[in-house]
């Protein structure tokens, strides 16, 4: 068996791994990238980009359907084959292609393909044909769709977020398992493209909001459009002539048996570290079986191992993977010295309709006694009235003592843009009064945000 000795081994060549490589390559030639599976990053291949192309098509169809309100009557026909041809072509040329071209510029001596597993704290086995001894290791191996045990026997026939964009046409019907970002975005898109779609939850929660009023508003709003069964569990899944027959037991004891042409498993993703024999790594593992790490250094305990990106299972977002890969690299270069990186305030966006966004600290992470909350409904905004898009609401959370904005939960048209304004304010430590000094043009969607901030300021002064 061949053995290679390097200073740095980077497991995974996605957003985090490539970011780490670009940093470390400036310091040394003694490094190796190890990639299992196709190159191209999760975002470009199966995540952000193809899902948004699907959503763009479904939004167009939905806009045409709603045109009569504005005096615009139109007819359209969904061509599923052309829809997926477009997604696959543009994904390959515009998104995955860019990543592949960059990977091709990396000298082959820095790359090896195969499944890496720990043999000991410094040694990795790659497919039983290569042994890599590394002084420092960066774990950036990404994640894979989680599949519940009831569906495991059918895994080769079911769809996940890793396979759904390989379809060649739209199915007649689809069950979507999950009520998180992947399930809601893709489920709503298929529904709007004419697919009979049902979304199944487990705990009764929907999306990422943590304030009870936000959760309630999202569930009520989304159920007006979508067939959502929020609470229960699947007890049986079998393949039948025209698809799949699913049995679902609700928490109140009702058994639901339905058949679908396709089933999309979208109930989250799990770290690929689970296949790397972590018990041999010498790392301290948490109750999930994943390495404990410092988010400011991405260092696992006091070890020579660092982690980044979706492999942590904590912040499966492109921009977080980008940041973490670079923090991990800088920390590894500095090791054994301690070097902290700069984290940014949290921001997460669902491209559903209405959009959802969480910024900074969510409500559940705060002490209700130490904050004031400002709230506004989207139907109060002049621009929302112009669009006849009155669904949703937003909340902002402000420190009671300093008046500094801490976080927000936003549900409605324009959430992605309001979120970026608010996260910038949080990054600069602005008070709600200082944010309100910013001009807000009339009429814009941001006037609802101004209303929520104004309520928070009023309550702050009153307290």
Catalytic residues: 442
7 is in an annotated binding site: no
Judge whether 403 and 429 are in contact, CB under 8 Å. Answer: no
Query: What span, in angstroms and rounded, lies between the C-alpha atoms of 159 and 356?
Result: 25
DSSP 8-state assignment for residue 371: E
Instruction: Name the residue among 76, 109, 21, 36 with its Cα closest to residue 333.
Output: 21
Residue 207 three-state SS: coil
CB atoms within 10 A of CB 48: 16
Query: What span, in angstroms and rounded, lies between the C-alpha atoms of 258 and 60?
Result: 30
178 is in an annotated binding site: yes
Query: What span, in angstroms and rounded, lies between the C-alpha atoms of 310 and 331?
Result: 18
Query: What span, in angstroms and rounded, lies between the C-alpha atoms of 392 and 41?
Result: 33
CB atoms within 10 A of CB 245: 15
Hey, what's the torsion of the CAs at 27, 31, 36, 40, to 10 degrees?
Answer: 30
52 is in an annotated binding site: yes
268 is in an annotated binding site: yes
310 is in an annotated binding site: yes
- Residue 165 has, within 13 A of its CA and on its CB side, a CA count of 25
Region label for 452, one of left (φ > 0), alpha (ψ between -120 and 50) or beta (otherwise): alpha
Judge whether 102 and 21 are in contact, CB under 8 Å. Answer: no
301 is in an annotated binding site: no
Query: What span, in angstroms and rounded, lies between the C-alpha atoms of 166 and 90?
Result: 13
185 is in an annotated binding site: yes
Query: What span, in angstroms and rounded, lies between the C-alpha atoms of 411 and 439?
Result: 22
Q: Dmax over Cα atoms in the chain, in whole Å?
A: 73
DSSP 8-state assignment for residue 292: -
109 is in an annotated binding site: no
Say if residue 392 is preceded by a cis peptide, omega within 30 of 0. no
- The strand pair at 123-126 and 130-139 is best described as antiparallel
Query: What span, in angstroms and rounded, lies between the C-alpha atoms of 116 and 310?
Result: 17
- Residue 244 has, within 13 A of its CA and on its CB side, a CA count of 27
The alpha helices in 174-240, defined as continuous H runs, are: 181-192, 212-225
179 is in an annotated binding site: yes
Query: Burial code of 216-225, b = ≥16 C-beta within 10 A, e = fewer?
Result: ebbbebbeee
Residues annotated within the binding site for FAD are 52, 310
Residues annotated within the binding site are 52, 178-185, 268, 310
Residues annotated within the binding site for NAD(+) are 178-185, 268
């Amino acid at each position: 068996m061949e053995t290679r000795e390097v200073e740095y081994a980077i497991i995974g060549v996605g957003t985090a791994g490539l970011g780490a490589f670009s940093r470390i390559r400036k310091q040394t030639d003694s490094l190796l990238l190890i990639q299992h599976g196709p190159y191209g990053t999760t975002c470009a291949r199966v995540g952000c980009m193809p899902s948004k192309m699907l959503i763009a098509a479904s939004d167009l169809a939905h806009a045409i359907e709603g045109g009569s309100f504005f005096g615009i009557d139109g007819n359209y026909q969904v061509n599923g084959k052309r829809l997926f041809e477009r997604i696959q072509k543009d994904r390959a040329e515009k998104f995955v292609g860019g990543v592949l071209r960059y990977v091709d510029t990396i000298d082959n001596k820095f790359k090896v393909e195969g499944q890496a597993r720990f043999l000991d704290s410094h040694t990795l086995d790659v497919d039983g044909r290569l042994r890599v001894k590394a002084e420092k290791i960066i774990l950036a191996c990404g994640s894979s769709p989680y599949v519940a045990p009831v569906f495991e026997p059918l895994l080769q026939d079911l769809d996940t977020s890793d396979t759904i964009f390989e379809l060649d046409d739209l199915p007649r019907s689809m069950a979507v398992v999950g009520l998180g970002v992947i399930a809601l975005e893709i489920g709503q898109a298929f529904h709007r493209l004419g697919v009979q779609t049902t979304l199944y939850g487990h705990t009764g929660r929907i999306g990422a909001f943590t304030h009870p009023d936000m959760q309630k508003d999202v569930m009520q709003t989304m159920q007006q459009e979508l067939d959502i069964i929020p609470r229960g569990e699947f007890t049986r899944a079998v393949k039948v002539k025209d698809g799949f027959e699913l049995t679902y037991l609700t928490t109140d004891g009702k058994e639901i048996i339905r058949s679908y042409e396709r089933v999309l498993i979208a109930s989250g993703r799990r770290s690929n570290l689970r296949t790397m024999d972590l018990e041999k790594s010498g790392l301290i593992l948490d109750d999930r079986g994943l390495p404990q790490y410092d988010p400011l250094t991405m260092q696992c305990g006091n070890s020579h191992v660092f982690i980044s990106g979706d492999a942590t299972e904590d912040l499966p977002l492109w921009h977080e993977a980008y940041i973490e890969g670079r923090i991990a690299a800088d920390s590894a270069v500095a090791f054994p010295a301690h070097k902290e990186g700069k984290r940014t305030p949290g921001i997460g966006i669902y491209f559903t309709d209405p959009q959802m966004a969480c910024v900074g600290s969510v409500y559940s992470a705060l002490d209700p006694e130490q904050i004031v909350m400002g709230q506004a409904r989207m139907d109060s905004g002049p621009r929302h009235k112009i669009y006849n898009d009155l669904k949703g609401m937003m909340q902002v959370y402000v420190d009671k003592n300093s008046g500094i904005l801490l976080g927000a939960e936003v549900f409605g048209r324009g959430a992605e843009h309001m979120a970026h304004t608010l996260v910038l304010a949080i990054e600069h430590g602005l008070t709600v009064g200082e944010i309100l000094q910013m001009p807000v043009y009339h009429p814009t969607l941001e006037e609802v945000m101004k209303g929520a901030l104004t309520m928070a300021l009023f309550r702050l002064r009153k307290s």
